[in-house]
Amino acid sequence: MCSLSAANPFIPYPATVTGVLDLTPDIKLFTVELTDPEQRENFDYRPGQFAFVSAYGVGEGPYGIASLAERKTGLEFAVRRVGTVTRALHELEPGATLGIRGPYGNWFPMEDYRGKNILIIGGGIGMAPLRPVIHYVLDHRSDYSGLTIVNGARSPRELVFSDEYDLWAEPAQCKLELCVDRGDDEWQGRVALVPQVVSELRPSPDNTVAIICGPPIMIRFVLAGLKELGFSPAQIVTTLEQKMKCGIGKCARCNVGDKYVCKDGPVFTFEQILNFIEQF
Amino acid sequence: MTSVIVDNNLHIWLKELAEKYILIAPVTSDGVTLFKHVKAPEVGSIDLQFLNTAVSPKGYFFPLSETIFSIGVERGDVIAPMNADAEVVIFGIRPCDAAGIALIDRVFLAEPVDISYKGKRDRTILIGLACNTPSPECFCTSVGGGPANPMYLDIMLTHTPSGYIVQAITGKGKELTPVTMVEEKDVPSPPTPRIAAIPMEGVREIMRRNFDSPYWDRVADRCIHCNICSYVCPCCYCFDIRDYAGKDKIDRVRSWESCQSAGFTRIAGGHDPRPTKGARLRQRWYHKLLYYPTLFGDIKCTGCGRCVRSCPVNIDIREIIMDVQKLNV
């Protein structure tokens, strides 16, 4: 089976679900281990890369890997129930088998960001591909200057990774700003949109890299706000989501202009994106 | 002197090819010419007077639908598809269709290699037939090809009143040439047919500047997204991957798809970067005339004219190219 997967890029590695955690009412965090120890060892990935997860009989889909390889937690995927494959994945319980192929795409060049202030801005499930970036910075904390995280969701119940906030925001480690579009009876935090929080926070563009992911509308307004604060497009990085079938630059579905998100991305700076002929 | 195979010998050669190989050749029935498996060629069963086939032979490398692998339901084991290892000869392929396969090669043979495609590609020999009579919709000479272009073929045949001129192009082609049936004669090549030229100057640059032009929506207005343009195209290669669950096994199937399908780029959750016919049709032309040329140097169109012939609402890529030049803003 090992040689088959090596030869045919479309054949996934067999894998087992080892953990399922409800992050929000419609987002689950799956922990997955490749069955073959050698394949598990060789599956090396970087923050920002993605993989295809197969729910056999229903299909497969591309998901950003939400874990950091160095932490050896197993592969983690945050999956929102929105379509047929994600619905099937949500039915899976620990012990279930599935298929994984990848890792695909480029990654956030964390080494290049050394010594910089890291500003992470995520909305909803958009935090999933940013989580390994957060973990990486926390695990190499002295390599980086300030760490600011703005994390927003539609409602308090929809904030992802809430059980980790205490670990992220341990004193002096990081400044964590949470916000929701609509609060509820218990919510004591900010009720504001992510772009609004960013603009009020007034992060300095000096020696800062802003890493953002969220719905296109959020990205558009965050971008405008950062521009106003003096950020140049080269210091703003994002990861794009497009419809994909192959993940290896062949099926001709995920292109934005002449760039294929699966192999040229998914990580792009806004300097690159501004040169795209097409909108994403 | 030229190597020539006379009609009678050609027939004998075809019989031999059909015995040794899976022979794929143009066959006309009910007025439609298609590439078909010809097991025992009789005189006249292979159409050698055809203009071009209704569909290109790309499906012999990139099938309309194929199982990439299966998963056993009980044990979850991967079952590789049965790969035929018989060698295939595609006889009578036009230079434009061979060029179409070469355009797909650049994508499917790039790392990581699509092994299903490569397997079929490696096992296939292309015997081409030069066009003495092009169709009215042909424009191969405007996009880097020609009616007698031997590139991408293993053997090139050219029909003359004294028989078929045989040119071995590749090593594979040399090996396959039936030396005992070929005569060395002084046979002049037929005159090169005239093919109307489409001006291509500056198209890329103009398209780069006119992505947001209202022209694209306007021309797409009459498109009924039937996808026939992609279906008949010798170099369209968009595909879909789906699971088909059976009782004992689940098949993961790859099949042709078209960038013209509504929802082609719609992600789960509903966001669609190309929600309109205009955006999708624009993608088709931009891929062919700008994106692919930017990545690989060549225009992703062979000028075969099939999409022009097949479009039920007369959308004509030649017209688009000429209109684009008037957009020049």
pLDDT score at B56: 96
> Quick one: B51 and B149 in the same domain?
yes
Least confident of A32-41, B16-25, B77-86: B77-86
> Quick one: A133 and A62 in the same domain?
no
* Nearest Cα residue to B78 out of A64, A78, A39, A65: A39
Chain segment A25-34, per-residue pLDDT in tens: 999 999 999 9
Two tokens, residue A226: 């950062």
Does residue A171 lie in a domain region?
yes
> Quick one: A160 and A204 in the same domain?
yes
CB distance B69–A253 less than 8 Å?
no
Residues 64-83 of B with CB under 8 A from A: 68-69, 71, 76-78, 80
CB distance A242–B287 less than 8 Å?
no
In degrees rounded to 5, what are phi and psi of residue B71? -125, 125
The domain total for chain A is 2
* Nearest Cα residue to A151 out of A175, A184, A183, A182: A175
Whether pLDDT at B242 is above 90: yes
* Nearest Cα residue to A55 out of A16, A93, A99: A99
Residue B48 burial (C-beta neighbours within 10 Å; 0-12, 13-18, 19+): middle
> Quick one: A178 and A196 in the same domain?
yes
The answer to whether residues B106 and B314 touch, using CB atoms and an 8 Å cutoff, is no
Mean of all residue pLDDT scores within chain B: 95
Whether pLDDT at A220 is above 80: yes
> Quick one: B45 and B150 in the same domain?
yes
Chain segment B298-326, per-residue pLDDT in tens: 999 999 999 999 999 999 999 999 999 99
Tell me the mean pLDDT in the region B5-24: 96
Angle B324-B327-B328 from CA coordinates, rounded to 5°: 105
Last-in-domain residue among B185, B219, B242: B185
Under 8 Å CB-to-CB from A110, ≥6 apart: which residues? A46, A47, A133, A136, A137, A140
Last-in-domain residue among B156, B185, B214: B185
Does residue A40 lie in a domain region?
yes
Does residue B190 lie in a domain region?
no
pLDDT score at A148: 97
- Could you give the C-alpha distances from A87 to A91, A97, B269, B323, in angstroms and in order? 7, 16, 12, 46
User: Looking at chain A, which residue has its C-alpha nearest residue B257?
Assistant: A251
CB-closest option in B71, B116, B211 to A277: B211
Does residue B268 lie in a domain region?
yes
pLDDT score at A1: 37
- Could you tell me the pTM of the whole model? 0.94
Does residue B41 lie in a domain region?
yes
Does residue A274 lie in a domain region?
no
Q: Which residue has the higher pLDDT, B301 or A275?
A: B301
Q: Does B265 touch chain A (CB under 8 A)?
A: yes
Does residue A129 lie in a domain region?
yes
Amino acid (1-letter code) at residue A89: L
> Quick one: B212 and B175 in the same domain?
no
What percent of chain A has a predicted confidence (pLDDT) above 90?
A: 92
> Quick one: A78 and A160 in the same domain?
no
Element (H, E) at A117: strand A117-123
Amino acid (1-letter code) at residue B314: N
- Could you give the C-alpha distances from B103 to A42, B5, B235, in angstroms and in order? 34, 30, 6
The domain total for chain B is 2
> Quick one: A190 and A75 in the same domain?
no
pLDDT score at A5: 43
Does residue B198 lie in a domain region?
no
Q: How many CB atoms lie within 10 A of CB A184?
A: 10
Does residue A249 lie in a domain region?
no
> Quick one: B152 and B38 in the same domain?
yes
> Quick one: B111 and B175 in the same domain?
yes
Does residue B220 lie in a domain region?
yes
Whether pLDDT at A141 is above 70: yes
To the nearest whole angstrom, how far is the Cα of A259 from the nearest Cα of chain B? 8
pLDDT score at A232: 97
pLDDT score at A170: 83
The answer to whether residues A150 and A200 touch, using CB atoms and an 8 Å cutoff, is no
Whether pLDDT at A7 is above 90: no
pLDDT score at A6: 47
For A53, the domain range is 2-104
Whether pLDDT at A4 is above 70: no
Tell me the mean pLDDT in the region A108-136: 97
Last-in-domain residue among B158, B185, B212: B185
Does residue A220 lie in a domain region?
yes
pLDDT score at B329: 67
**CATH number where A99 lies:** 2.40.30.10
Amino acid (1-letter code) at residue B242: R
CA terminus-to-terminus distance, chain A: 37
To the nearest whole angstrom, how far is the Cα of B267 from the nearest Cα of chain A? 5
> Quick one: A67 and A170 in the same domain?
no
For B156, the domain range is 2-185
Mind giving me the DSSP string for A210-223? Answer: EEEES-HHHHHHHH
> Quick one: A126 and A92 in the same domain?
no
Does residue A125 lie in a domain region?
yes
Does residue A207 lie in a domain region?
yes
Tell me the mean pLDDT in the region B25-51: 95
CB-closest option in B240, B269, B291 to A257: B291
| ipTM attached to this prediction | 0.91
Chain segment A74-106, per-residue pLDDT in tens: 999 999 999 999 999 999 999 999 999 999 999
Q: How far apart are CA A252 and CA A254, in angstroms?
A: 6
Residue found under tokens 């592969």: A75
CB distance A277–B286 less than 8 Å?
yes
Tell me the mean pLDDT in the region B241-246: 96
> Quick one: A209 and A126 in the same domain?
yes
> Quick one: A218 and A114 in the same domain?
yes
B54-87 b/e (C-beta count within 10 Å ≥ 16 → b): bbbbbebbbeeebbbbbbeeeeeebbeeeeeeee
Residue B307 burial (C-beta neighbours within 10 Å; 0-12, 13-18, 19+): buried
> Quick one: B81 and B149 in the same domain?
yes
**CATH number where A207 lies:** 3.40.50.80
Two tokens, residue B305: 């004219």
> Quick one: B178 and B213 in the same domain?
no
Q: How many CB atoms lie within 10 A of CB B272?
A: 16
pLDDT score at A135: 97
Q: How confident is the model at residue A279 (pLDDT cuts 50, 70, 90)?
A: confident
Q: Does B252 touch chain A (CB under 8 A)?
A: yes
Last-in-domain residue among A104, A121, A145: A104
Does residue B197 lie in a domain region?
no
To the nearest whole angstrom, how far is the Cα of A218 from the nearest Cα of chain B? 13
* Nearest Cα residue to A215 out of A280, A148, A120: A280
> Quick one: A81 and A34 in the same domain?
yes
Does residue B252 lie in a domain region?
yes
Q: Does A242 touch chain B (CB under 8 A)?
A: yes
Chain segment B77-131, per-residue pLDDT in tens: 898 887 777 899 999 999 999 999 999 999 999 999 999 999 999 999 999 999 9
> Quick one: A49 and A151 in the same domain?
no
The answer to whether residues B88 and B123 touch, using CB atoms and an 8 Å cutoff, is yes
Which residues of chain B are within 8 Å of residue A60 when distances are taken between CB atoms?
241, 243, 252
Q: What is the DSSP letter of B299?
A: -
> Quick one: A97 and A211 in the same domain?
no
